[in-house]
Chains A and B, each alone.
Chain A
């Protein structure tokens, strides 16, 4: 399982000619229990893969929406350990691939050699470490290889073609193409261009490449998908919907509505 589960699922979707819908949640916003309920709702509404966002106090790659969610989440007990508990609960009831989405510092506090096996035991299949370019974190990478936890590479619009190929060499699971030079939640991402880049990169590397940052409507999801992305990630838009609601039921309905609409937009014609 683990990296293999993620790869198998993406291969199935490819055969079905449907781009993957990847939903991001900040674990602990507004509470760890709510995040678990929202995760279930997202899966029920058609999310194929979940990114379990580990809140970090100083999220420099995130825009104001996810940064604020992270601060609320920390107050409410969100953490890497809480994200692992959520993964564990989800794994008991679902076979959907789970990706830990985190910064490096929580991993160092947990133990970089210890995290990968703990993550796999909890049922996670991959980790995406926002501030860990491939040159760094060799101890974590070694442990991840051993535990078969995929480490998802990020590719940015500023990345040279040569470096893109280097980033994807030997990558497990998928690669994440950042649509815009900016932080999460950036407004006017050139999604068609990002989708084309993702498709070209996928063609060269054989690794599925998904597009994230700036996708907050079904139309934008379709734009990236139609251009050839293997999947799309929705993060800020979902976090914003969750934050806007005050009752647990309304939160679940908001998650179901947005995820459902995005899923419909990605169905093959």
Chain B
């Protein structure tokens, strides 16, 4: 048996377009737009101009010296730690790169309304921002649990004029928000663009989102060459659906650079209360793509768990599933407690309050450095995508007792 020829939208055995027939024409239209409009000079000029003058790109690359010596006091493993500062994007996370791109695309497709799903609220805020900038009506689907735990972002979305629609079904998190957004889209597909925030979903979304997040890695690579004079030994990013990670990875895929994604292990993979889809998932179809999912033997999706709303998702972008399958990227996980500790450590060592999602990547830096040190025989440079800021998580952090020792 010979392997089938690769089809657009497929990454090894993952990807595709598993949706109700009603949505197929809209996805085909979007696919055409991705190949014709997105690379066009006109689109690139307008989008990149916005990234520069509105988002604040290029975002800086920060060398984290104090954090590096805290993670590796002897300095034997970690020669240098570099942070790609997506938290300094307007709205506080990388999500705005994609949201602006998709809204520009929607305008060119003549769509009059934008919908989106959001977990941590960062993609919701980014989409609401892009819609405010272009005067488009915007509705954001968000699980009730996330509405609760990411309240500041709900207020921000409302302030920006977006309608936030709490979703009460299922685990009341990101997965359920995406279900509801898909139901809205299937009903209003002729007039509405669905601005997917993750590198997940049916083709062409994983490709589109990766393309729109690519500036993260492209900038980081050039900045590392300029600042460090070399490529890092490893690049690290957190993975829920995987948009910041894929944006970071794509630029380094052809280099001799190890790629690490870090998933949410929640209360521990062995407890079953986690969101480590690559670490513990199986092949399935969720939200329009064949990918790795958390599901039981009957094919029912298992409700995930993570302290971070943005990683609390039982699927993963198909490109990550493929990178894991081929071994090009390595996927680790970090627990809730490890992520919470990382938020505190990074704040105290570097003066940067990182998002709980991002903190999962930081929780594994020490291990990754030691592992790469063992493989390469010398202390290594590591670059991490600091995907977002943590102001939105303050309520969760305080409820978990972080900061108590200072207050008392």
Any B CB within 8 A of the CB of A159? yes
Tell me whether A160 is interfacial, beta carbon within 8 Å: yes
Q: At the interface, yes or no: B22 with Cβ under 8 Å from chain A?
A: yes
Residues of B contacting A10 with CB < 8 Å? none
Q: Which residue of chain A has its CB nearest to the CB of B19?
A: A131
User: Which single member of B16, B20, B293 contacts A154 (CB below 8 Å)?
Assistant: B20
When C-beta atoms are compared, the residue in chain A nearest to B298 turns out to be A79
Determine if B65 is an interface residue (Cβ-Cβ < 8 Å): no
Q: Once the chains bind, are A105 and B293 in contact (CB under 8 Å)?
A: yes
Are A182 and B21 within 8 A (Cβ)?
Answer: no
- How many chain B residues touch A (CB < 8 A): the figure is 40
- Do A154 and B21 have beta carbons less than 8 Å apart? yes
Tell me the smallest distance from the CB of A186 to a CB of chain B, in Å.
7
Task: Enumerate chain A residues within 8 angstroms of B282, measured Cβ to Cβ.
Answer: 109
- Please give the distance in Å from A188's CB to the nearest CB on chain B: 12
Chain B residues, CB < 8 A from A110: 299
Q: Does A107 contact B (CB under 8 A)?
A: yes
Q: Is B83 an interface position by the 8 A CB rule?
A: no
Bound Cα distance from A80 to B300, whole angstroms: 10
Contact of A183 among B25, B176, B186, B295 (CB under 8 A): B186
Query: DSSP class of A's interface residues: helix, strand, loop or mixed?
Result: loop
From B4, B20, B189, A130 is in contact (CB under 8 Å) with B20
Is A56 among interface residues, defined by CB-CB distance under 8 A? yes
A159 touches B183 (CB 8 A): no
| Cβ contact within 8 Å between B21 and A167 | yes
Is B286 located at the chain interface by the 8 A CB criterion? yes
Question: For A58, what are the chain B residues with a Cβ–Cβ distance below 8 Å?
Answer: 170, 175-176, 179, 286-287, 301
Contacts of B405 in A (CB 8 A): none
Q: A136-B18, A182-B186, A186-B187 are in contact. Are A60 and B179 (CB under 8 A)?
A: yes
Render A95-113 as a binary contact track against B, CB cut-off 8 A, 1 for contact. 0000000011111111000
**CB of B297 within 8 A of chain A?**
yes
Q: List, in ascending order, chain A residues with CB within 8 A of B18's CB.
A: 104, 131-133, 136-137
Contact B22 A157 (CB under 8 A): yes
By beta carbon, the residue of chain B nearest A213 is B22
Interface pairs A-B: 10 shortest CB-CB? A109-B299, A106-B299, A156-B22, A79-B298, A182-B187, A104-B285, A61-B20, A60-B182, A57-B300, A105-B299
